C-alpha cells in the first residue's frame, strides 16, 4: 500500500536549514568538489551540529505524538548533495534522533521541482537562490536566515509566528500602502473592504495544516487528559486598528482561529517577539527579520510587492 502524503503536513527541508554547514561550505568554495567529497567521507560518522531550523523541525516532528499510527507531519530532505556526500547528513539525522527517513539527493539540481511531487506545503532552505526559484515558480518557500540563537532545550511547546500580509494573505493591502505610503488611505481602503476576505498568501496551506493538527490535539486531549496540546499559532503584524478587523474576518473565512495576535502599528516587531519567543517566525520583509534573527529563528518569505524589485533583478 502506498504511503499517502496529501493529507499530511509535509515540509521540504534542505540540509542547510537543518544543520550548520558553514565549515563544509567553506571547503567546497575554497578547495573544490573533490576535497569536499573527501572531507564528507572522512567525517561521515561525525554528526553535524544543529542549524537554525533544527529546534523547529524537532518540535514539529514531536506533533506526531498526537496520532502515532497515522502521523500528521512528514519531513522530506531535499538536498543538493549527491547520494555519496549526502550520507553524512543522513547519519547526522539518525544521530540526533530525528524521524526523517525520506530523502532526495540531486547533485546540484534544483530542489523546487520536487515540491509538488511530495505534496510539500513549505520548502525551507538557507540557500537564497533556491528559495527565490521556488517562490517564482509559485511554490511556498522560505529562506532561513543566519542566527546565533539555537534553543534546543525547554518545554515541548511549539510556537509558530507569522506576519500576515504577504505571508498568510496575498499582498493586496501591502500594494495599496506602498502605492502612496499614506497610512490613513490604507485604513480607509481596509475599512471599505472590511468584510471582503483577502486572497491566500504563500504560507496559508502550511497554516491550514497546522490548524488541522491543533484540532487533532484538542480531540486527543478531550479523550486523554494526560495529553497536553503543544502547538500555538501566533500572528505578529504591523497592522493596527482599524485595519485589524479585516484580518480577523479573513481568518474566519478560512476557518482558522490562531491562539494569539499582535497588531503592533509600527512598533518594532522584535520587541514583541522577544517575549513571545517563537521557535520560528515568517515575514516577507527582511527589515523586520534581520533584527529578530539575533534572538530567534527567522525565515524570509520572498513574496509580493516588497520583494518584487529584487525578484526582477534576479
150 within domain boundaries: no
Residue range(s) defining the domain that contains residue 214: 158-313
Do 198 and 102 belong together in one domain?
A: no
Annotated catalytic residue 163:
yes
Q: What is the CATH number of the domain that holds 47?
A: 3.40.50.1000
Q: Residue 182 above 80 pLDDT?
A: no
Mean pLDDT of 254-262: 96
**pLDDT tens profile 138-160:** 999 999 999 877 665 667 899 99
**pLDDT tens profile 268-289:** 999 999 999 999 999 999 999 9
Helix (H) or strand (E) holding 16: helix 15-18
149 within domain boundaries: no
- pLDDT attached to residue 312: 29
Q: Position of cell 542547510?
A: 16
Contacts (Cβ under 8 Å, ≥6 apart) of 181: none
The beta-strand segments (E) located in 24-154 are 73-79, 102-105, 122-125, 141-144
Phi/psi for 165 (5° steps) reads -70, 130
Do 277 and 241 belong together in one domain?
A: yes
111 within domain boundaries: yes
Do 121 and 230 belong together in one domain?
A: no
Do 101 and 179 belong together in one domain?
A: no
Write down the catalytic residue from 130, 163, 283, 284: 163
151 within domain boundaries: no
Q: What is the CATH number of the domain that holds 208?
A: 3.40.50
Mean pLDDT of 112-123: 96
Question: What SS3 state is found at 125?
Answer: strand
53 within domain boundaries: yes
* Cβ–Cβ under 8 Å, residues 242 and 265: no
- Report helix angle 22-31 to 33-42, nearest 10: 140
* Cβ–Cβ under 8 Å, residues 243 and 264: no
Do 172 and 131 belong together in one domain?
A: no
Higher-confidence residue: 179 or 75? 75
Domain boundary among 88, 118, 144: 144
Do 125 and 181 belong together in one domain?
A: no
1 within domain boundaries: no
Q: Position of cell 472590511?
A: 194
Do 96 and 135 belong together in one domain?
A: yes
3 within domain boundaries: no
How many domains, the chain?
A: 2
- pLDDT attached to residue 167: 97
pTM: 0.93
Q: DSSP labels for 240-305?
A: -TTTHHHHHHHHHHHT---SEEEE-TTS-HHHHHHHH--SEEEES-HHHHHHHTTTS-EEE---SG
Contacts (Cβ under 8 Å, ≥6 apart) of 180: none
Amino acid at each position: 500500500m502506498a504511503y499517502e502524503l496529501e493529507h499530511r503536513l509535509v515540509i521540504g527541508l534542505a540540509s542547510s536549514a537543518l544543520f550548520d554547514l558553514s565549515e563544509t561550505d567553506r571547503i567546497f568554495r575554497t578547495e573544490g568538489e573533490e576535497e569536499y567529497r573527501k572531507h564528507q567521507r572522512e567525517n561521515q560518522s561525525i554528526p553535524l551540529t544543529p542549524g537554525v531550523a533544527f529546534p523547529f523541525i524537532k518540535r514539529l516532528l514531536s506533533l506526531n505524538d498526537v496520532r502515532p499510527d497515522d502521523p500528521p507531519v512528514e519531513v522530506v530532505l531535499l538536498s543538493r548533495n549527491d547520494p555519496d556526500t549526502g550520507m553524512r547528513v543522513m547519519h547526522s539525522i539518525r544521530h540526533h534522533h530525528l524521524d526523517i527517513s525520506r530523502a532526495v539527493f540531486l547533485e546540484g539540481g534544483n530542489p523546487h521541482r520536487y515540491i509538488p511531487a511530495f505534496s510539500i506545503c513549505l520548502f525551507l532552505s538557507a540557500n537564497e537562490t533556491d528559495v527565490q526559484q521556488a517562490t517564482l515558480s509559485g511554490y511556498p518557500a522560505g529562506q532561513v536566515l543566519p542566527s546565533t540563537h539555537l534553543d534546543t532545550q525547554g518545554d515541548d511547546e511549539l510556537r509558530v509566528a507569522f506576519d500576515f500580509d504577504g505571508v498568510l494573505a496575498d499582498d493586496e493591502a501591502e500594494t495599496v500602502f506602498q502605492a502612496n505610503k499614506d497610512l490613513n488611505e490604507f485604513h480607509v481602503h481596509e475599512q471599505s473592504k472590511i468584510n471582503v476576505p483577502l486572497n491566500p498568501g504563500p504560507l496559508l496551506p502550511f497554516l491550514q495544516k497546522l490548524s488541522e493538527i491543533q484540532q487533532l490535539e484538542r480531540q486527543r486531549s478531550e479523550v486523554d487528559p494526560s495529553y497536553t496540546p503543544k502547538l500555538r499559532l501566533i500572528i505578529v503584524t504591523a497592522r493596527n486598528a482599524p485595519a485589524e478587523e479585516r484580518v480577523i474576518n479573513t481568518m474566519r473565512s478560512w476557518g482558522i482561529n490562531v491562539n494569539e495576535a499582535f497588531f503592533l502599528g509600527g512598533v518594532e516587531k522584535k520587541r514583541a517577539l522577544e517575549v513571545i519567543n517563537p521557535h520560528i517566525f515568517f515575514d516577507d520583509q527582511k527589515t523586520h527579520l534581520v533584527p529578530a534573527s539575533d534572538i530567534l529563528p527567522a525565515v524570509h518569505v520572498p513574496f509580493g510587492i516588497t520583494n518584487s524589485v529584487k525578484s526582477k533583478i534576479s
